[in-house]
Structure 1
Amino acid sequence: MGRMGRHVFVAGCVALWLLPLYLLVVNALTPVAEYEGKPGWTFQGFALVDNVRTAWDEAGIGDSFQASLLYAVVCGLVAVLVAAMAAFAVVVLPIPRPAFWFWLIYSGTLFPLQVFLAPLFGLYADANLYDTRLGLMLVYVAWAVPFAFFLIRNQMTTMPPELTEAALIDGASFIRVFWSVHVPLMRSGLGAAFLFQFTAVWNDLLLGLTLSRSGDVQPVMASLATLRATYASSGPPVILAGALVVSVPTLLLFLVFRGLFLRGMAASVR
């Protein structure tokens, strides 16, 4: 494939990504009264504020948005901290059979999420965790740890063992080595892992639909999915305006911290 062919291929891929975004924006701006029942390709007006207000207040996206922000930030931070400690134990601590513990933790990413839905639903119903923020936070942390562990462990294996040995000779404990040596040196990897987990929790639909139903507990993607049935008579503009709003946090996060993300990924794949 020559240079021209590569340019055409890249342009085609860009168009495939931008066209849905263009349709999303155009139809989210369309007033509900002027929507013709099918996606429009031209701007019919500017009713984004009204559509967002309807989705945010009347449809309850605002409560779900705040709940998802709590889940994504808190669960992402906790999962990264737990994953970093687990990676430190597997790579640095003199534990027996470290490969076994690596595969045991990493196996959490190998099974389809659907396998756990029925047992989780029964367990949460029996433990009174169904439709609670604590229940969702627990499952999000457990779900996010294995992949974060994989990323952080990969970066930690590239760190010279002499750093740990020197710190231990100077009298530092393993806890001090973790917090004073490894955590500062792994800031980019920890940041990249957090960005991944924030996005994964924010975009979750399946767990949110299965384990919650209240508007102030249900994550925003699950709330957005139920918006279609509730506001079908209003047409897609309200739904698309809600989708536009809920896509902003992850987009801003990657735009602001893209340098940190790239450095972290580069450190994790060495």
Structure 2
Amino acid sequence: MRTVPLGRILRNTTLILLALLWAVPTWLLVVNAMVPAAEYGGSPHWWPQGFGLLDNMRQAWDRAQLGPSMANSLLYAVTSSLVAILLATGAAFAAVVMPVRRRTLWFWLIYSGTLLPLQVFLRPLFLSYADFGLYDTQIGLVLVYAAIAVPFAFFIMRNYAMTLPREVVEAARMDGASWWRLFWRIHVPLSRSAMVAAFVFQFVSVWNDLLFGITLSTSRNIRPVMAALAELQGTYVSVGPPVVLGGAILVSLPTVVLFFSAQRFFVSSLKLTR
């Protein structure tokens, strides 16, 4: 009979306990979102008490007008993520494949955008957006979301580009391929899985953003979905916590669907960037 090493048992036990600990908030969220709003007594429930989830979601949808806000967030997340991924892929191609000088300097210059807290940018962004007429506009939010998404996307794409075989590039250059053709015909197709993984990261980040949504927008037809959900949470005394939690589950569904749809690309790219 084969003996299981003690180290493996401890590791698996630790991972299981961490997974259970991580799942507790999600369990509480779902259970309390299922409680009918009229029957909620003010204390959190650990076990299901009826099933009012769909009604709570409907109330959240109507009270917070989540439909237009979700459409706005979809526009911001898709557009800004695609722009950021394209720019990051081009920057990674230049920093890894092309014969540029001071590659490390360029890497840190771009990646340093992730080292500062986002709150640092709020005041200059607010003032500049007000001066240039970008405040409370969709194009203004797309621009800021794309800008903050580039550094981390560049980090992913650069690491992935370093794993690609140099022989392919050398062979294409010997055949007379220009850098532009090399980028679009070889580099982009080879980097597709990493681009999808980076897109998932940035889509989730933009979708879940609240800071810029409440700072750079005020109109209901401009604000992203998390700003609308925050407004609903501000009136939770009248709607009840189950309605707010039902709305939270509702607005999180697109990111969950996206992650599981792109899971194959997500996992494969992470394996190659280790």
**What's the TM-score once normalised by structure 2's chain length?**
0.92
Distance in 2 between residues matched to 1:92 and 1:61, nearest whole Å: 44
The Cα shift of 1:160 comes to 2.6
Give 1:112's aligned amino acid.
P
| Partners of 2:264 and 2:145 in 1: CA distance | 26
| 1:139 positional shift | 0.3
Offset at residue 58 of structure 1 (A): 2.3
Alignment of 1:53-64 (within 5 A): 53-64=58-69
The one-letter amino acid paired with 1:240 is: L
The code of the aligned residue for 1:265 comes to L
1:4-19 pair list within 5 angstroms: 4-19=9-24
- Greater CA drift, 23-32 or 11-20: 11-20
User: Could you say which residue in structure 1 is the equivalent of 2:119?
Assistant: 114
SS in structure 1 at match of 2:32: helix
Question: Paired residue for 2:110, among 101, 105, 109?
Answer: 105
Distance 1:11 1:263 in 2: 24
Q: Secondary structure at the match of 1:117?
A: helix
Q: How far is the alpha carbon of 1:162 from its aligned partner?
A: 2.5
Note the residue ranges of structure 1 that are not aligned, 5 or more in a row: none
The CA distance in 2 between the partners of 1:19 and 1:109, in whole Å, is: 30
Name the structure 2 match of 1:42.
47
2: CA distance between counterparts of 1:64 and 1:223?
7
Q: Distance in 2 between matches of 1:145 and 1:68?
A: 18
1:123 to 128, 137, 141: 128
| Residue in 2 that maps onto 1:51 | 56
Alignment counterpart, residue 207 of structure 1, candidates 191, 199, 212: 212
Residues in 2 aligned to 1:244 and 1:209: alpha-carbon distance in whole angstroms: 20
Partner of residue 25 from structure 2, selected from 20, 28, 32: 20
Taking structure 1 as the reference length, what is the TM-score of the superposition?
0.94
* Aligned residue identity for 2:133: N
Q: What does residue 161 of structure 1 align with?
A: 166
Q: Which residue of 2 aligns with 1:192?
A: 197
Q: CA-to-partner distance for each residue in 1:44-85, whole Å, 9 max, x for gaps? A: 322222211111122112221111111111111111011001
User: How many residues are matched?
Assistant: 269
Q: Which residue of 1 aligns with 2:89?
A: 84
Structure 2 CA distance, aligned partners of 1:49 and 1:158?
47
Contact 2:77–2:202 (CA under 8 A) maintained in structure 1: yes
Counterpart AA for 1:129: L
Once the two structures are TM-superposed, the CA of residue 94 in structure 1 deviates from its matched residue by: 2.7
